[in-house]
Structure 1
Amino acid sequence: MTNNAPGKLAVRRVKFFSQHHGEVNFSAFSPDGRTLLTASDDGCVYGWETRSGRLLWRLGGHTGPVKCCRFSPDGRLCASTSRDCTIRLWDVARAQCLRVLEGHQRSVETVSFSPDSKQLASGGWDKQVMLWEVQSGQRLQLLTGHRDSVQSSDFSPSANCLATGSWDSSVRIWDLRAGTLEVSHQELEGHRSNISCLCYSASGLLASGSWDKTIHIWKPATSSPLVKLKGHTTWVKSIAFSPDELWLASAGYSHRVKVWDCNTGKCLETVKGVLDVAHACAFTPDGKLLVSGAADQSRGQVHCSSRPARAPRMY
Structure 2
Amino acid sequence: MNSRAPGTLTVWRVKFFRRHRGETLLTASEDGCVYGWKTQSGNLLWRLAGHTGPVKFCRFSPDGRLFASTSCDCTIRLWDVAEAKCLQILKGHQRSVETVSFSPDSKQLASGGWDKRVMLWEVQSGQMLRHLAGHQDSIQSSDFAPSSDCLATGSWDSTIRIWDLRAGTPTIFHQELEGHSGNISCLCYSASGLLASGSWDKTIHIWKPSTRSLLVQLKGHVTWVKSIAFSPDELQLASIGYSRMVNVWDCNTGKCIETLKCFWQGALDVAHTCTFTPDGKLLLVSGVAE
TM-score category by the smaller chain? over 0.9
Name the structure 2 match of 1:85: 74
In the alignment, the residues of structure 1 paired with residue 132 and residue 250 of structure 2 have an alpha-carbon distance, to the nearest angstrom, of 34
In the alignment, the residues of structure 2 paired with residue 289 and residue 147 of structure 1 have an alpha-carbon distance, to the nearest angstrom, of 38
Choose 8-17 or 95-104, whichever is displaced more. Answer: 8-17
In the alignment, the residues of structure 1 paired with residue 249 and residue 6 of structure 2 have an alpha-carbon distance, to the nearest angstrom, of 10
Name the structure 1 match of 2:283: 290
Kindly state the Cα deviation for residue 198 of structure 1 after the two structures are TM-superposed. Answer: 0.1
- The alignment status of 1:160 with 2:149, answered yes or no, reads yes
- The alignment status of 1:135 with 2:124, answered yes or no, reads yes
**Contact 2:34/2:49, CA 8 A, preserved across alignment:** yes
Which whole-Å deviations, capped at 9, do the CAs of 1:277-310 have from their partners, x for residues lacking one?
Answer: 121111122112323222434xxxxxxxxxxxxx
Name the structure 1 match of 2:232: 243
In the alignment, the residues of structure 1 paired with residue 256 and residue 176 of structure 2 have an alpha-carbon distance, to the nearest angstrom, of 27
Which whole-Å deviations, capped at 9, do the CAs of 1:106-165 have from their partners, x for residues lacking one?
Answer: 000000000000000000000000000000000000000100000000000000000000
- The alignment status of 1:19 with 2:19, answered yes or no, reads yes
Say if 1:97 and 1:179 are closer, same or farther in 2 by CA, change over 3 A: farther
Name the structure 2 match of 1:70: 59
Q: Secondary structure at the match of 1:12?
A: coil
Runs of 4+ in 1 over 3 A off after TM superposition: 5-11, 178-182
Name the structure 2 match of 1:125: 114
Which whole-Å deviations, capped at 9, do the CAs of 1:216-251 have from their partners, x for residues lacking one?
Answer: 000012223100000011111111111111111111
Amino acid at match of 1:15: K
- The alignment status of 1:206 with 2:199, answered yes or no, reads no
Kindly state the Cα deviation for residue 12 of structure 1 after the two structures are TM-superposed. Answer: 2.7
- Picking from 149, 161, 166, the partner of 1:177 is 166
- The alignment status of 1:36 with 2:29, answered yes or no, reads no
In the alignment, the residues of structure 1 paired with residue 208 and residue 16 of structure 2 have an alpha-carbon distance, to the nearest angstrom, of 38
- The alignment status of 1:277 with 2:270, answered yes or no, reads yes
Amino acid at match of 1:198: L
Kindly state the Cα deviation for residue 19 of structure 1 after the two structures are TM-superposed. Answer: 2.4
Name the structure 2 match of 1:114: 103
In the alignment, the residues of structure 1 paired with residue 245 and residue 168 of structure 2 have an alpha-carbon distance, to the nearest angstrom, of 42
TM-score normalised by structure 2 residue count:
0.93
Amino acid at match of 2:18: S
Which whole-Å deviations, capped at 9, do the CAs of 1:69-111 have from their partners, x for residues lacking one?
Answer: 0000111100000000000000000000000000000000000
**What is the root-mean-square deviation in Å for CA atoms of aligned residues?**
1.7
Amino acid at match of 1:102: K
Amino acid at match of 1:205: L
In the alignment, the residues of structure 2 paired with residue 241 and residue 62 of structure 1 have an alpha-carbon distance, to the nearest angstrom, of 31
TM-score normalised by structure 1 residue count:
0.86
Kindly tell me the number of residue pairs found equivalent between the two proteins: 282
Kindly state the Cα deviation for residue 180 of structure 1 after the two structures are TM-superposed. Answer: 5.6
Kindly state the Cα deviation for residue 182 of structure 1 after the two structures are TM-superposed. Answer: 4.5
Say if 1:226 and 1:17 are closer, same or farther in 2 by CA, change over 3 A: same
Q: Secondary structure at the match of 1:221?
A: helix
- Picking from 186, 191, 203, the partner of 1:197 is 186
Name the structure 2 match of 1:27: none
Percent identity, please: 78
**Contact 1:278/1:291, CA 8 A, preserved across alignment:** no
